[in-house]
Structure 1
Amino acid sequence: MKTPLTVLVCALTLTACADHAARARLGIEDSTLLKSGIGASQDEAAGAANPQWVDTYAPVVSGGPALASLQARLNRMPPEQNGYFRAKAQCWIDAGQQARQAGDHWGFVEEATGQAATIAMGLENGTSLSAANPALRTVSTVRPDLWKIVNTIKSDPAIASCREAQQPLACAEVELMQAGHDAWMRSFSNAEKRLPDVQDNLRKSAQTALQCKQNVQASAAAPTGKLHKAVMLRADSLFRFNGGNDAAMLPAGRRQLDAVAHGLKTVRGVRELNITGYTDRLGDNAHNESLSLQRAQTVARYLRARGVTLPIAIRGQGGANQLADCRQTKRDDMVRCLAPNRRVEIELVADS
């Protein structure tokens, strides 16, 4: 019995015939991935390694130890760095580990390690990092429609001050890159299997960012009668760890306070503001009380500079009124768990 020619062609190409439908659904625009069988390109344009790639990634000779080292570096970073870039570095480490455990020797492990290392180094050195996703040799673009959604979410101002929305967004981007790597290897069905997680993370990010925006707007809305409203701001997003003065303010914190100031200037029915700073329970009580007061004073001064004219009462409560009860034995884990306790509360007191 003769073997059908179509079976031979499928056996001689990286593209599985059963993957044709999945390939079409991925919206691939890379012409090299749309070719299969005899005549399919194997040159640099199709993803062959060039000297520049070798020079960049050849030093990553052992993916396991390199990824483990990067994980340890991330774990040592202070809580105020638990934002978009740290989440993205973590997702790149996870992606590299997955590819390594799957026996992927096509260069993606090295690229994932390189991306995580670049971000970790930037966070450690306090240097500027780009949120753009790089062009990687072993990654092709899939689902351009999802990339448009990624860019739409990233461009929304609410994301910058909403850490809870940043983590799923960062992971969605890395997962979409992983799907692009699967497609680059002509494993189109595997690429498609990643998409539900991508879509779920994008949905979480968009919904959380919207909730953050609504919370700020609701807090600045005009109260009625004797209703009191409050804005709770995480100190870790306002200030560098253990900082509370103007120099320690973070860009995301300034953006949050800008939004609060804008709302307060248009609000009606508010008599005064009560601004209270808090720390976690770690450390000396006197230091915590001083730090919490400094944070409240800095926030009040910032709002004043942005045109808020309401009377403001300022207090520092140190480690009082803890929101999170944490019992971890490792200090780093404890510091992360106690993050909700490090905060500044702005209470809007209504007219009688």
Structure 2
Amino acid sequence: MKHQLTVLVCALALTACADHAARERLGIEDATLLKTGFGATQDEAAGAVNAQWVSTYAPIASSNTALAGLQTRLDRLPGDKNSYFYAKAQCWINAAQQARQANDRWGFVEEAIGQAATITIGLENGAPLSAANPALRTVSTVRPDLWKIVNTIKADPAVAQCPQAQQPLACAEVELAQAGHDAWRRSFTNAEKRLPEVQDNLRQSAQRALQCKQALQAPASMSAPEQGSVAKPQQKITLKADSLFRFNGGDEAAMLPAGKRQLDDVATGLNNAPALHELKITGYADRLGDKSYNLGLSMQRARTVERYLRAHGVSVPITAQGRGSANPLVDCRRTKRDALVKCLAPNRRVEIELVAARS
């Protein structure tokens, strides 16, 4: 049965589980992992090191040096830092650092470094990368139901066009692998403790993908007034800045594919509105951060929208301005920054006022 994003958002909000042992709640299917005491195997099938594993990870002489070098290389990469592969490389680095700080000597540190290195090198070289999660010696599969949700979200076309949904999805995969490592070393309680964050990231990814899908399905549209009627003096189109630009971006290089498609539809509507007299474009930011920075960012976004519309044939007079955090649409009092940023999203916007010619 195919999960829909709307169903996943609701399902992931529920965290109650049957009151069974943590090991049972993890849904472990690996028979070797369920055996303890006499009769428990210690062979390669149970995760023992083999020659291939040693040859692969032996070059990692110093995990600390390797992690520092990878972080530097990743930071230097251009492009959207919230994109799927960049986020996944970063989360693998974070996972390796956590395991190292916990003095984990089971091999997960090296495997996490290997995953981060593979992605980082691929991004540096512009090579094609696979979104599949490879089998790792020190990771067993836990919560197959959550992995099914991961794959369902990943397969939705909206996610490929929505970088905001990609970062939490990528990190949920790494976190679920970390839980699998905890289970592999039979720390079932620690594995279970990671699951709420996995569920929260999957919920965020599904919600953001839904928002992107709704933005694509409901583009701005306009038509000329009927003959003999009096055009309304003003109409307004409100575009979410988070749909137009990557976070904290305001120039054309920071525009998202979904945002360009929205503006393409706006330009088409404007070019088919002969009674249009003037456009007023106003950019807004949220209240977080420096006021002068927010004012400049809001102005940059308004001018970028102006230039984009001009480049797509809109020839009526246009005025662009930035108002910073003025005229907020919502007032949020959240204490956690991530929740506050999400709550303030409606305030980050670009408004296009259409001033129609009077008959």
- Using the size of structure 2 for normalisation, the TM-score is 0.65
AA aligned opposite 1:215:
A
How many Å separate the matches in 2 of 1:350 and 1:294? 20
Residue-pair matches, total: 291
Alignment identity in percent?
Answer: 55
Task: Quote the offset at 1:315 in angstroms.
Answer: 7.7
Task: Quote the offset at 1:153 in angstroms.
Answer: 1.3
The equivalent of 1:93 in structure 2 is 93
The within-5 A match list for 1:5-24 is 21-24=21-24
Task: Quote the offset at 1:109 in angstroms.
Answer: 0.1
How many Å separate the matches in 2 of 1:322 and 1:124? 38
- Relative distance call for 1:266 and 1:27 in structure 2 (3 A) is farther
How many Å separate the matches in 1 of 2:155 and 2:317? 35
Contact 2:88–2:174 (CA<8 Å) still a contact in 1?
yes
Contact 1:275–1:344 (CA<8 Å) still a contact in 2?
no
- Relative distance call for 1:212 and 1:270 in structure 2 (3 A) is farther
How many Å separate the matches in 1 of 2:54 and 2:164? 37
The equivalent of 2:57 in structure 1 is 57
The equivalent of 2:235 in structure 1 is 227
1:72 aligns with 2:72: yes
The equivalent of 2:125 in structure 1 is 125
1:26 aligns with 2:26: yes
- Relative distance call for 1:294 and 1:215 in structure 2 (3 A) is closer
What CA deviation, in whole Å up to 9, does each residue of 1:93-137 have, x standing for no partner? 111011011111111000111111111112222222211111111
How many Å separate the matches in 1 of 2:131 and 2:139? 17
The equivalent of 2:164 in structure 1 is 164
Q: Which moved more, 1:127-136 or 1:142-151?
A: 127-136
Contact 2:178–2:191 (CA<8 Å) still a contact in 1?
yes
- Structure 2: 5+ residue stretches without partners: 1-19, 224-230, 284-291, 294-299, 326-344
- Relative distance call for 1:61 and 1:296 in structure 2 (3 A) is farther
Task: Quote the offset at 1:77 in angstroms.
Answer: 2.4
AA aligned opposite 1:80:
D
Contact 1:275–1:312 (CA<8 Å) still a contact in 2?
no
Contact 1:270–1:350 (CA<8 Å) still a contact in 2?
no
How many Å separate the matches in 1 of 2:141 and 2:95? 17
Task: Quote the offset at 1:189 in angstroms.
Answer: 1.0
- Relative distance call for 1:295 and 1:90 in structure 2 (3 A) is same
How many Å separate the matches in 2 of 1:41 and 1:275? 72
Contact 1:295–1:344 (CA<8 Å) still a contact in 2?
no
Q: CA-atom RMSD, angstroms? A: 4.3
The within-5 A match list for 1:230-269 is 230-231=238-239, 253-254=256-257, 257=260
The equivalent of 2:322 in structure 1 is 321
AA aligned opposite 1:63:
S
Task: Quote the offset at 1:167 in angstroms.
Answer: 1.4
2:134 aligned counterpart, secondary structure: coil
- Using the size of structure 1 for normalisation, the TM-score is 0.67
How many Å separate the matches in 1 of 2:151 and 2:310? 34
The equivalent of 2:83 in structure 1 is 83
The equivalent of 1:209 in structure 2 is 209
1:80 aligned counterpart, secondary structure: coil
AA aligned opposite 2:195:
L
How many Å separate the matches in 2 of 1:192 and 1:266? 52
How many Å separate the matches in 1 of 2:309 and 2:135? 41
The equivalent of 1:40 in structure 2 is 40
Task: Quote the offset at 1:264 in angstroms.
Answer: 8.4
What CA deviation, in whole Å up to 9, does each residue of 1:190-238 have, x standing for no partner? 111110111111111111222232334444356995432144677766x
Q: Which moved more, 1:30-39 or 1:109-118?
A: 30-39
How many Å separate the matches in 2 of 1:115 and 1:38? 34
Task: Quote the offset at 1:162 in angstroms.
Answer: 2.2
Contact 2:165–2:208 (CA<8 Å) still a contact in 1?
yes
The equivalent of 2:114 in structure 1 is 114
The equivalent of 2:142 in structure 1 is 142
Contact 2:179–2:194 (CA<8 Å) still a contact in 1?
yes
Contact 2:267–2:314 (CA<8 Å) still a contact in 1?
no
Task: Quote the offset at 1:351 in angstroms.
Answer: 7.0
Task: Quote the offset at 1:254 in angstroms.
Answer: 4.6
